Structure formats: C-alpha cells, structure tokens
Structure 1
Amino acid sequence: METPRHLVLRAVEQLFARRDSASAAQWAAPGYQENSVLCRGTGPDALAALVDGLPEDFRYTPHLCMADGGHVFIQATCHGLGPQPLTAYDLFRVEGGRLTAHWDALGPVGLLPPVHPSSPAHGNRALVLDFMHTVLLRGQSAATGAYLHPRARYYQHDVVHGTEVLARPGSPAPACTTFARHLKPHHVLARGSTVVARSQGLLHDIACDVFDLFTVARGRITEHRSLVAPHLPPSPCPSLTCAVSVRT
C-alpha cells in the first residue's frame, strides 16, 4: 500500500507543479476539508478551486516532507504569490488512500531546518509537547531554561514579522514573546530532530492556526520557527494578494 508521504508528494506534484485541477477528484475524498489561507471550502471542488486560483507563474518547491501516521507536513518555497518568494507550511491528512484535509500558512522565506533522522523522534515529540503545554499554553516563562540545551544557542525565528530572537543560557526566555497566543495543539509530527505542531491560536483576538517548527538536539530545543494563518471566511477563491498580505 502506498504510504501517506508518497501519496502527498505525488498529489502536490500533479496539483501544484502541473496545475492539474481536474485531478482534484482523484486525490480528494468526498468530505475533503480545504483550510488554506487562499481558498476555504469542502469537497474536491474546493481543492480544484485552490489550484485554479493560483497564478500562471506559480511554482512550488518542496524542501522538507515528513509523515507521522496519516498526517504529512511539507515545508516548501512558493513563487508567484507576490513580489518575493514565500515559505509555505502545508499539512495534509490522509485517510483511506485519499486526502481528507489540508491546512497551510505562508510567510517570508526562512531558513531550512537540518533534519537528523537518527535522532529519537518519540523523545523529541514528548519534549516539544511538554514545552508547548508548560511555556506556550500556560505561560510559565521561568521554566523555559529547562528546554534549552545548556551549551547551545536558541534561535526563535518570527518569520511573520521578519524578526529573530536569540537567547543564550541564562538570558530571558524568548519563547513567551511568541506573536500568537497558543490555545490548543491539534497535530504534532516528529521525524528525527524535527518536530512540527499545528495549534489553535489567537492573533489580536482573531482565530488562527499556528504552525511551529522545532529543531531538537541532545534533548533540548535549539531552534523554533513559527507561521500563523488567520481564519478567513469560507470563499471559493479569495484575493490571493489580500490573503498573503495578512502574514507579510
């Protein structure tokens, strides 16, 4: 049986690279949920509308693809949605050999995280979940130091605002300066040293999805990047320029 990772890679190649919107009926389940910042709706027609709404010069270049169970995460670079390339975080859910849901977020191009598959993914997932519940959800900033490697720098990239926070051991905790309020983690994927989480959040009292990408080394978080996707009203294909400008 085809793995969810392989299925998603084939789907994005046909849908985003070849711009084949007619194939949406092949890839998407009848109850498919499209939660993109560019197009929201249900059913294969919503996925087709997303593809049809992409500009002629659109290019989608995947860099990192990781699967955990039936969820597949892709970090990619998108060209054609604005004057500059954008980083895309795409999360797909696969059930019964079909795509059943898609979420994404867009922001300025950020650094590509190193991935070390030999790193223990299960322990890294548990570490990140504990960090999120303790620091990001409960706001216990005094506990942040327990999650940082004692001899490593911790970089937090806020690619939405184009800023970077650098903390060394003993310096104030940067994690509580996150630009969106985390309310509840929904999906957490781990592959080697990389952990990805999608959470329900609030940005200036607006409901949003928060994507956090962590790099873990020797049992401590060494890098953290975030993208936010405000929830837009359902629409067949809202203005691409308007949708992207929310995050840039």
Structure 2
Amino acid sequence: MSNENTARNKAIAIEAITGVFIKRDTSVPEELFDVAYKQHNPAIPNGSKAIPDLIRALPAEFKYEMGMVIAEGEFVAIHGRYTGWAAKPLIAVDIFRIVDGKLVEHWDVMQEEVPAENTASGNAMFLPPE
C-alpha cells in the first residue's frame, strides 16, 4: 500500500477517535465507520450503529487524550489515555483497520494507568505528543 494511502488512513483514524471521544459527535460513525464495523472489544457490539449509543453513554467527566499514532497500510494504532471510563485512568492502544475510507474493524488493549513514581522504571505509561 502506498504512503499516500497510509497517511490517508492515519488521518481517518485520528478524525474518528477525535470525533467520538473528544468532540462526542454522534454523526461521526455514519460518516467514518462501515455499517458492518467489526468490534473486538467484548463490551461493545458490532456495527456502526452501536457507536452513537456509546458516545451518549460517556460520563460528563470522561476525557480522552491522544498520544502517538502509528500507521502502516490499512492499519492504524493510536496510544491514548481514557479518564472517567473506569475508576482509574486507562492507557490504551486502539487498532483500527480502514478500507476504502471507512473504519471496518477495531481492537484495543487497555490497562489501568500506574503513576510513573510507582513503576519499576520510573517512566510514565503515557506521554501526550509534544
């Protein structure tokens, strides 16, 4: 896949996650998600029609921060921090597969954030981009 397609897919994934989790725009799924969107998070149903309900269910105190974004071909991985989704902030990597300008599949890996001072290395689990 060309660098142009990779860059386009990266931009689409950023637009989608920003629209859903930062802007909380319920029109984003219809625009950017395939109707048959396949979800691998066990708590979220398949299909783009499930995403507006997810957006509406976000608590008022919910906050999403995007970190690094890595793209290769039809896959885009976004490292981020979710605050207010669970009792403690979660650090996640969301992986999207994008085909013909639409998100068609999603995986994520999430874990509770451990403050840097409590890690063996002293390193933070998440750093927003500079």
Q: For residue 71 of structure 1, what is the aligned residue in structure 2?
A: 75
* 1:45 matched to 2:49: yes
* 1:61 matched to 2:65: yes
CA contact (8 A) 1:4 1:67 kept: yes
Q: For residue 103 of structure 1, what is the aligned residue in structure 2?
A: 107
CA contact (8 A) 1:64 1:75 kept: yes
Give the whole-Å Cα distance in 1 for the aligned partners of 2:112 and 2:16. Answer: 24
How much has 1:5 moved relative to structure 2? 0.6
Secondary structure, in 3 states, of the residue corresponding to 2:87?
coil
1:35-75 deviation per Cα after TM superposition (whole angstroms, max 9, x unaligned): 2243122x210222332332222111011110011000011
Give the whole-Å Cα distance in 2 for the aligned partners of 1:37 and 1:48. Answer: 17
Larger radius of gyration: 1
CA contact (8 A) 2:35 2:49 kept: no
Q: For residue 29 of structure 1, what is the aligned residue in structure 2?
A: 34
Secondary structure, in 3 states, of the residue corresponding to 1:48?
helix
Aligned residue type for 1:27: L
How much has 1:163 moved relative to structure 2? 7.9
> So what's the TM-score if we normalise by structure 2?
0.76
- Larger relative strand fraction: 1
Secondary structure, in 3 states, of the residue corresponding to 1:91?
strand
Residues 38, 54 of structure 1: alpha-carbon distance in 2 compared, 3 angstrom cutoff: farther
Q: For residue 14 of structure 2, what is the aligned residue in structure 1?
A: 9
Gap runs ≥5 in structure 2: 126-130
RMSD over aligned CA atoms reads 2.6
Aligned residue type for 1:100: V
Q: Which has the higher contact order (CA 8 A, sep 6+)?
A: 2
Q: Name the count of aligned residue pairs.
A: 116
Give the whole-Å Cα distance in 2 for the aligned partners of 1:51 and 1:12. Answer: 11
Residues 106, 39 of structure 1: alpha-carbon distance in 2 compared, 3 angstrom cutoff: same
Gap runs ≥5 in structure 1: 113-161, 167-224, 226-248
Aligned residue type for 2:85: L
Residues 49, 105 of structure 1: alpha-carbon distance in 2 compared, 3 angstrom cutoff: farther
Q: After the TM superposition, which parts of structure 1 deviate over 4 Å for at least 4 consecutive aligned residues?
A: none
Aligned residue type for 2:20: L
Aligned residue type for 1:52: R
Secondary structure, in 3 states, of the residue corresponding to 1:21?
coil
Q: Structure 1 residue aligned with 2:92, among 66, 73, 88?
A: 88
1:122-153 deviation per Cα after TM superposition (whole angstroms, max 9, x unaligned): xxxxxxxxxxxxxxxxxxxxxxxxxxxxxxxx
Aligned residue type for 2:12: L
Give the whole-Å Cα distance in 2 for the aligned partners of 1:48 and 1:84. Answer: 24
How much has 1:110 moved relative to structure 2? 5.4
Matches within 5 A, 1:130-141: none
Residues 6, 93 of structure 1: alpha-carbon distance in 2 compared, 3 angstrom cutoff: same
